[in-house]
Structure 1
C-alpha cells in the first residue's frame, strides 16, 4: 500500500520484533564485477511494495537520502547504491559505467529471488534520480520494466557534450564543475570526463530521444534558480521536443529553488510522492 500522506509524518507504531517492521537491508547488488554498496530501505507492512531505484547525482556530494526515507514512509521499497569508481566502490569511474550500473540495478530488482526477498510489486517499478541521476533516469526511462520515471533537475551530459564542440562557454563551465567532483572518484580526471561527453554527445543527447520519451510517464522537476542544471539548457530544450509528440505523458513541476532544492525538500518529497501515487493507482 502506497500512502502519499506519510511524506511528512511518522507511520503508525508497529512492534520492532514484527517481520513487517521497516528495515534497512544490504542489497548485494553487483555490476560488472563490482559491489555497488547497495542497500534497500524496506517499508512497514506486508507487500507487495512498489519499488524505486533512487539515483544520486555527480559525484554524489548531495545524497537525497531524505527522499528515500520519505518514499519508504509512504510504503515503497527504495534501492540506493553508488556507481562504480565512486565513494569507495571498486572500478573506474565513467559516465558509461554509471549507465551500465543503472541497468544492473533494474536487472537486480527484477530477478525472481530478489522480488521475493523484498516483496516487490514488479508492476510498479520506478526510477527516481537527481541531476546526473536524472539524466540516467531519462536514459533508462524507456526500459519496459519501468512503469514511470522522475527526473529531478536532470543534467544532460549528452547535450553538454554535443554543444561542447562549438560552445566554449558551456564546455568550460562543465569542465570547471567536473574538476570539483574528482576527490571521491577513482581512476579518472576532469579531462577524461569532458572528453567522454564530447565523444558521446550525439549518442547521449536527451532531446534526440524525445520521440521515445514522449511514450513514457515522466515527472521532471525544475529549480528556477538552478545554475547547474540551467532551465534554459537542461529542461526547456528537452521538454519542447517531447511536447512535439503531444502524448500528454510529461508532468513538469517548477520551484523557486537551487540545484539541491535546499529550501524545498518537503515540497520535493510531496511532489514526487503525489506523482507516484497517481501512477500507482491509475486504472
Structure 2
C-alpha cells in the first residue's frame, strides 16, 4: 500500500510485525559485468510494494537520499545505485553506459527471485530521476514494464549534442560543466563526454521522442531559477512537442528554486508522492 500522507512523517511501527519493518539491503545489481553498488530501501509492511528506481544526476554530487526516505515512508521500495564508472563502480563512465545501466535495473526488478525477495509489485514500477537521472528516466519511460515516470529538472544531453554542432555558447557551457564532474568518474574526460553527446544528439534528443513519450504517464518538475537544466532549453520545447500528441499524460509542476531544489525539498517530496499516489491508487 502506498500512502502519500507519510511523506513528511514517520510511520507508526507499534504493533507491527518486526519481520516487516523498514530496512536496507545490498541489492546485488549488476550491469554488463559491473556491480553497480546498488541497494534496496524497503518500507514497513508485508507488501507487495510499488517500487521506484531513483536515479541520481551527473555525476552524483547532489544525492537525493531524502526523496528516497520520503517515498519509502509512503510504502515504496526504492532501488538506488551508482552508474558504471562512477563513485568506485568498476568500468568506464559514459552516458551510453548509464542508459544501459537503467535498463539493467529494470531487468533486475522483474527477476522472479528479486520480486520475491523484496515483495515487489511488478504492476507498479516507476522511474524517478533528477537532472541526468531525469534524462535517463525519459529515455527509458517507454519501457512497457514502467507504469509512470518522474523527471526532476531533466538535463537533455541529446539536445546539447544536437545543437552543439552550431551553438557554441551552449556547447561551451556544457563542456565547462562536464569538467567539474570528473573527480568521481573513471576513464573519461570532458572531451570524450562532449564528443559522445555530439555523436548521439540525433538519437538521444528528447523532443524528437515526443510522440512516444506522449503515450506515457509523466511528471516533469521545473525549477525556474535553474541555470543548469535551463527551462527554455531543456523543458519548453520538449513539453510543446509532447502536447502536440497528447496533453493529458503530462503533469507539469513549476517551482521557484534552483537546480538542486535546495529550499524546496519538502515540496519536491510531496509533489512526487502525490503524483505516484494518484497513479498507484487509481481505480
Counterpart Cα distance in 2 of 1:110 and 1:45: 20
Residue 13 of structure 1: CA displacement?
2.1
Q: Which residue of structure 2 lines up, in the alignment, with residue 66 of structure 1?
A: 66
Q: Which residue of structure 2 lines up, in the alignment, with residue 147 of structure 1?
A: 147
Q: Which residue of structure 2 lines up, in the alignment, with residue 25 of structure 1?
A: 25
Query: What pairs up with 1:253-268 in 2 under 5 angstroms?
Result: 253-268=253-268
Unaligned runs of 5+ in 1: none
Unaligned runs of 5+ in 2: none
Counterpart Cα distance in 1 of 2:13 and 2:79: 24
Distance 1:183 1:16, change over 3 A: farther
Residue 14 of structure 1: CA displacement?
3.9
Q: Which residue of structure 1 lines up, in the alignment, with residue 228 of structure 2?
A: 228
SS at match of 1:251: strand
Counterpart Cα distance in 2 of 1:244 and 1:255: 24
Count how many residue pairs are aligned between Structure 1 and Structure 2: 283
Deviates more, 1:125-134 or 1:15-24: 15-24
TM-score normalised according to structure 1 size: 0.99
- Determine if the alignment matches structure 1 residue 82 to structure 2 residue 82: yes
Query: What pairs up with 1:85-104 in 2 under 5 angstroms?
Result: 85-104=85-104
SS at match of 1:207: helix
SS at match of 1:226: coil
Q: Which residue of structure 2 lines up, in the alignment, with residue 252 of structure 1?
A: 252
Counterpart Cα distance in 2 of 1:241 and 1:76: 32
CA deviation digits over 1:28-47, x for unaligned, max 9? 00000000000000000110
Counterpart Cα distance in 2 of 1:125 and 1:72: 14
Counterpart Cα distance in 1 of 2:247 and 2:240: 12
Counterpart Cα distance in 2 of 1:160 and 1:241: 17
Q: Is the 8 A contact 2:215 2:246 kept in 1?
A: no
Q: Is the 8 A contact 1:51 1:77 kept in 2?
A: yes
Q: Which residue of structure 1 lines up, in the alignment, with residue 187 of structure 2?
A: 187
CA deviation digits over 1:144-189, x for unaligned, max 9? 0000000000000000000000000000000000000000000000
Deviates more, 1:134-143 or 1:244-253: 244-253
Q: Is the 8 A contact 2:43 2:77 kept in 1?
A: yes
SS at match of 1:122: strand
CA deviation digits over 1:208-231, x for unaligned, max 9? 000000000000000000000000
Residue 246 of structure 1: CA displacement?
2.5
Q: For the aligned residues, what is the CA RMSD?
A: 0.9
Q: Which residue of structure 2 lines up, in the alignment, with residue 199 of structure 1?
A: 199
SS at match of 1:238: helix
Q: Which residue of structure 1 lines up, in the alignment, with residue 243 of structure 2?
A: 243
Q: Is the 8 A contact 1:14 1:21 kept in 2?
A: no
